[in-house]
Amino acid sequence: NAGVTQTPKFQVLKTGQSMTLQCAQDMNHNSMYWYRQDPGMGLRLIYYSASEGTTDKGEVPNGYNVSRLNKREFSLRLESAAPSQTSVYFCASSEAYGYEAFFGQGTRLTVV
């Protein structure tokens, strides 16, 4: 059972570089989310997609963009990476808002 799959698992970027984090779920969920996890800050929502074709900002959207490519896939793009974006990024999905959420294994991103 794949669940939520994220790629890559690890990435090192130089300041100013761009990259896209990929996420796919195979549970036919409507809602997908991107969180970041930082020591002492816990998990914070970056962007979410309530359903295919919609995306909205979460708590910490600055410096990021997202695309809900189809029902299965939700990508997160860093256009010009900054050291402050060094974090662990998690993709999650749920059937809808308020339903049980399932998380991927995370992408550990370091920006130098």
Partner 1 sequence: KQEVTQIPAALSVPEGENLVLNCSFTDSAIYNLQWFRQDPGKGLTSLLLIQSSQREQTSGRLNASLDKSSGRSTLYIAASQPGDSATYLCAVPNSGYALNFGKGTSLLVTP
- Smallest distance, Å, CB 44 to partner 1? 8
Q: Residue 58 interacts with partner 1 (CB under 8 A)?
A: yes
Segments in 5-87 forming alpha helices (H): none
Residue 94 to residue 33: CA distance in whole angstroms:
9
- Smallest distance, Å, CB 16 to partner 1? 27
Residues of this chain, 73-112, that bind partner 1 according to CB under 8 A: 90, 92, 97-98, 100-106, 108
Q: Which two tokens stand for residue 1?
A: 């059972």
Lay out the site mask for partner 1 across 4-43 (x = CB under 8 A, - = otherwise).
x----------------------------x------x-xx
Q: Which one, 16 or 59, has the nearer CB to partner 1? A: 59
Place of tokens 């690890």: 10
The Cβ of residue 51 has, within 10 Å, a number of other Cβ atoms equal to 14
Residue 39 contacts by C-beta under 8 Å, 6 or more apart in sequence?
A: none
**In what side-by-side order are the strands of the sheet with 4-7?**
4-7, 19-25, 74-78, 64-68
Query: By the criterion CB under 8 A, which residues form the site for partner 1?
Result: 4, 33, 40, 42-45, 48, 50, 56, 58-59, 90, 92, 97-98, 100-106, 108
